[in-house]
Amino acid sequence: MAESTWKDYREKKKSKPLPLKGIRVLEVCTLLMGPSGPGMLSRLGAEVIKCEMPPLGDTLRSLSPFGYFFREQSTSFIRPNPNKYWLGLDLHKPEGQQVFRELAAKADVIEENQRPGVMERWSVGYRQIKEVNPSIIYISKTGFGQWGQYARENRPSNDGAAQAMSGYAWMSSFPGQRPLKSRLYVCDSYGALMGEVAVLAALHYRQRTGKGQFIELSQSESIMRAMSWIWPYLHITGEPAMPAGNRDVSLCPADTFRCADDTFLALAAPSPEEFRGLCVAMGRPELAEDARFKDHVTRLQEENATELLRIIARWVRTKMPAEVEALAEKHGFAASRVYSVRDVVEDQHFRERGFLTEVDDPVVGEFLDYEFPVMMSKTPPRVRWTVRPVGFDNEYVMTNVLGKTEDEIEGLYECGALGKWADVLGRRPPADWDGKAGRIMARD
Amino acid sequence: MAEMGEPAWEHWARERNDPKAARLKAEALDDVTVLDLSYKSYAGCYCSSMLAEFGAEVLRVEPPGGDFLRTCTPYGVLHHGEGLNYLTEGRNKFHITLNLEKPEGREILKGLVSQADVLIETYRPGVMHDWGLGYEHLCEINPRLILASITAFGQFGPMSRSRMPDYDNIIQARSGAQYDTGEMMPEGMSYDDCPWAIPTKAGPWIGWVQAGTFMAVGILAALHWRALTGEGQALDVASAEAYASTEDWAATWYQGAGVISERFGNLNTACWLYCFAPTKDGAVFLGGLRLEMWQAFADMVGKWEEWGAASWQDLAVFSEREEQLKWAPLVFAETRKYTNEELVAMSVDYARNGRLAPITPVVAPVCSPEEAMHDANWLDRGVFAPFHDPVYGELVVAQAQYKMTETPIRTKWVCRPVGYDNEHIYLKYMSLGPRRLEALREAGVI
């Protein structure tokens, strides 16, 4: 066990260095797929400056479950946007565009998710930015990429569009039922994650060669990459790929079962030793020798899998979830209750690892957030602060990064290039904010 | 505006980013050597694929019998003896065998470690350590090494000693993602009547994929840190945490209001307009997350007057539960009048000619995978370009998911059988020629 490597990880992580130290990122993103990517880099220690259109900023600031706002902030807005600096910058104005180019000259990465060609219309497209910073890494993240029929038609997109068009939703329902949308914005979060693989690979290349580049990412293409067997299956067998409910058709047995108390439990025992363990746990050791179930590839065949899953379903229906989990632990197969969000937030293991982390934020107050899910022994990623009103850090960014004088900053406000939040829910600070807490400059 | 004489943006981007030209360009990670010891883990294989696509030299180290994952294939379908999931993630990797249960095997691994930048492994916590291959041992051999472990519960914490293995359907259950995805139970019905109205997982291996991709990001960040300081480190992903971390509103809702997010079918608890809607010949996704887009939808289906769209002030009102349940049937009654194709065309046209143009609602057809795979847009963009592999013949795997001007990803080969590259790799890294290799094979070491 790697005891010395991970000893006191959670307790000590706040005083360790961050891995992306020295990387500066400019974000011109809204909603989820755009901001989530820089939100990962900011957890890893990059300095992320989020540019929003004043005074309303990011559309995501409006969205919250059944209209519930957490301390007057959109609950959806919190997770993708930690550790950022908040700039209210109007890119419709030439003065705003000039400020952006000055920042770009000092940045390593630019991330945007406007529709194709919009950044160029604002004079801050890749071709214009590389004139002031040839080594910039510039990523555009959209539904359909920058070229091709759908991009040309200028189609807007959302997570749900990618779930629909990729075949992902079609593969995620019960047989005979309508295609089902994941309640997660899975194509947003996954598209964002995929984008960061490309950004960091490009940074690595830049370190070796000094060369920047332009990257385009399509939400649908990202999720299609993750759909593994489906494409070769269609190509090789010529058969349609069918949804299978909670059954995993590539692992057997692996399914979700109903317990005695009408809650649900996922179970998996595909490898030989795991399957033997399950058969023993069920009191049916002979099943492990049954010709229909003996080896994995045979077990996976439709008829055999259906029969085996029926046997397991009957067994689990008589058990409480904790009983099956204990047997799984004892016999070395996998089982887990289907966790609700309460189970996740209250899980002791997640807490002791520090995956659930306490944020003590000067503006929003104390709450639990999820940490970046890669624990790094020498450079632990972490959430330090959370969301801010539109334009909250204007003075800091203008003074510290660009060396602007008070007069120059005043001029930028006067022409409307810089701006701050509107007095609207999701934009303004919480009601109990004292006008100073969390501000880096211009506290008076 | 672009300089005069420069091509339009779309042309510029296509000219530089078309995957057809990818192989003529440089590779971002071709200075990085990765050992991938993944076993029974699509997460590990997918992680090393993310690096291999960028040109990293990935050595897949399997036990002499091969990875169990090779047998994990839909309905037991094999292609040239290979499972289809493994087939998609063998790309660009060298496949070698090594028996880590034998001391000689572990010595060979240490030789490889001393020459590698990254080691990916998915054994239960403690297994590598008991073999003398834990981070404390390996960092002595190579302090620059990045050791990346992906497991069910991670390397530390109260459950880290669990004997339970890591599978995708368990990740989906444990992360909280499955619980509130699925159809609502129709009024007066029970699980016996509607066995499909239950927590529903995604079909694809999204839990494993998230874990593997997060680790790829972690590895690249660790490589950056190493470039600054020369230091390697250990990385730890607990796969349920990786998938759970992508949830973006329910945890805060629970903390603030004590509400547990429940299934809401094809509507969306946290926004409107955001649903799948039935049509004459299937279903479409509808999206309108700004008031003007929801108004544009009403206008597009001819309900501007009747629904009073001009007087709507605040989109947030519509996302209330009761409002959603009231409006959804009204919307569906309209979408049922059209085919998918008609609705998509209406949205594209509205962006040009509508009252609120260029604002238009998002309308996207719900496609089967066959439809997606034959969609001319994705074919044009090279995602499903057939690949001819010398071992496995012509195959279609999803690829080219990023388009990049300098270092695009590419597929050089799709997969390799167990131990296919033993001769080349052991000669290259360990100077083991055919006679010594044969002796090691006979001794059960490779």
Q: In this predicted model, what pLDDT tens digit does every residue of B398-437 receive, in sequence order?
A: 999 999 999 999 999 999 999 999 999 999 999 999 999 9
Q: Which residues contact B217 (CB under 8 A, 6 or more apart)?
A: A40, A193, A196, A197, A200, A374
Give the pLDDT band (50/70/90) at residue B6. low
- Asked if B169 contacts A246 with a C-beta cutoff of 8 angstroms, the reply is yes
pLDDT at B395 over 90: yes
A160:B275 CB<8 A: yes
Q: Which letter does DSSP use for residue B237 in this model? A: E
A44:B73 CB<8 A: no
DSSP B337-365: TS-HHHHHHHHHHHHHHSTTTT---EEEE
Average pLDDT, chain A: 97
Considering only CB atoms, which chain A residues are within 8 Å of B237? 373-375
pLDDT digits (tens, 9 = 90+) for A182-209: 999 999 999 999 999 999 999 999 999 9
What does R_g of chain B's alpha carbons equal in angstroms?
A: 26
- H/E run at residue B13: helix B9-17
Q: Give CA–CA dist A367/A381, Å, rounded.
A: 18
pLDDT at A2 over 90: no
In degrees rounded to 5, what are phi and psi of residue B122?
-135, 20
Give the pLDDT band (50/70/90) at residue A3. low
B249:A79 CB<8 A: yes
Q: Give CA–CA dist B403/A263, Å, rounded.
A: 44
Nearest to B289 among A59, A164, A248 (CB): A59
- H and E: helices and strands count for chain A: 20, 14
What residue spans define the domains of chain B? 16-246+381-442, 274-360
The mean pLDDT of A370-382, rounded to a whole number, is 98
Q: Which letter does DSSP use for residue A119 in this model? A: H
pLDDT at B5 over 60: no
Which residue out of A184, A208, A264 would a mutagenesis test of the B interface target, given it has the greatest number of B Cβ atoms within 10 Å? A184
pLDDT digits (tens, 9 = 90+) for A218-265: 999 999 999 999 999 999 999 999 999 999 999 999 999 999 999 999
Per-residue pLDDT, A442 = 75
Find the length of chain B: 446
B17:A367 CB<8 A: no
Q: Which of residues 282-311 of A touch B (CB under 8 A)?
A: 295-302, 305
Considering only CB atoms, which chain A residues are within 8 Å of B10? 116-117, 146-147, 151-152
A195:B216 CB<8 A: no
Q: How far is A104 from chain B (nearest CA, A)?
A: 17
Considering only CB atoms, which chain A residues are within 8 Å of B17? 146-147, 214, 216
Per-residue pLDDT, A1 = 47
In sequence order, what are the beta bridge partners of A28? A112
The mean pLDDT of A14-34, rounded to a whole number, is 97
pTM of the model: 0.98
Residue A98 touches chain B, beta carbons under 8 Å = no
Q: Give CA–CA dist A214/B404, Å, rounded.
A: 6
The two structure tokens encoding residue B253: 């809702």
Q: Which residues contact A160 (CB under 8 A, 6 or more apart)?
A: A181, B268, B274, B275, B276, B285, B286, B287, B362, B364
The mean pLDDT of B316-327, rounded to a whole number, is 95
DSSP B270-318: T-SSEEEEEETTEEEEEE--SHHHHHHHHHHTT-TTTTTGGG---GGGG
B136:A4 CB<8 A: yes
Q: Give CA–CA dist B239/B211, Å, rounded.
A: 5
Domains present along chain A, CATH in parentheses: 11-225+373-414 (3.40.50.10540), 254-258+264-337 (3.30.1540.10)
Q: Which residues contact B127 (CB under 8 A, 6 or more apart)?
A: none
Average pLDDT, chain B: 97
Considering only CB atoms, which chain B residues are within 8 Å of A31? 289
Considering only CB atoms, which chain A residues are within 8 Å of B3? 127
pLDDT digits (tens, 9 = 90+) for A253-301: 999 999 999 999 999 999 999 999 999 999 999 999 999 999 999 999 9
Nearest to B395 among A153, A232, A300 (CB): A232
pLDDT digits (tens, 9 = 90+) for B100-142: 999 999 999 999 999 999 999 999 999 999 999 999 999 999 9
Per-residue pLDDT, B3 = 45
Nearest to A225 among B167, B176, B401 (CB): B401
The mean pLDDT of A106-123, rounded to a whole number, is 97
Considering only CB atoms, which chain A residues are within 8 Å of B332? none
Nearest to B10 among A151, A174, A249 (CB): A151
Pairs of CB atoms within 8 A across A/B: 653
Which residue out of A66, A149, A189, A276 would a mutagenesis test of the B interface target, given it has the greatest number of B Cβ atoms within 10 Å? A66
Q: Which of residues 37-76 of A touch B (CB under 8 A)?
A: 40, 44, 59, 62-68, 70-71, 74-76
Q: Give CA–CA dist A230/A295, Å, rounded.
A: 23
Considering only CB atoms, which chain A residues are within 8 Å of B227? 204, 207
- Asked if A334 contacts B153 with a C-beta cutoff of 8 angstroms, the reply is no
Nearest to A147 among B14, B31, B400 (CB): B14
Judged on CB neighbours under 10 Å (0-12, 13-18, 19+), B71 is: buried
Q: Give CA–CA dist B172/B246, Å, rounded.
A: 12
- Asked if B42 contacts B208 with a C-beta cutoff of 8 angstroms, the reply is yes
Closest C-alpha to B166, from B112, B122, B136, B110: B122
Write down the CATH number for the domain with range B16-246+381-442: 3.40.50.10540
Which residue out of B42, B170, B172, B237 would a mutagenesis test of the A interface target, given it has the greatest number of A Cβ atoms within 10 Å? B170
Question: Letter for the amino acid at A154?
Answer: N
Q: How far is B435 from chain A (nearest CA, A)?
A: 34
Give the pLDDT band (50/70/90) at residue B2. very low
Q: Give CA–CA dist A382/B99, Å, rounded.
A: 38
Q: Are strands A69-70 and A73-74 parallel, antiparallel or unpaired?
A: antiparallel
- Asked if A387 contacts A428 with a C-beta cutoff of 8 angstroms, the reply is no
Is residue B84 reached through a cis peptide bond, with omega within 30 degrees of 0 on the bond before it?
no
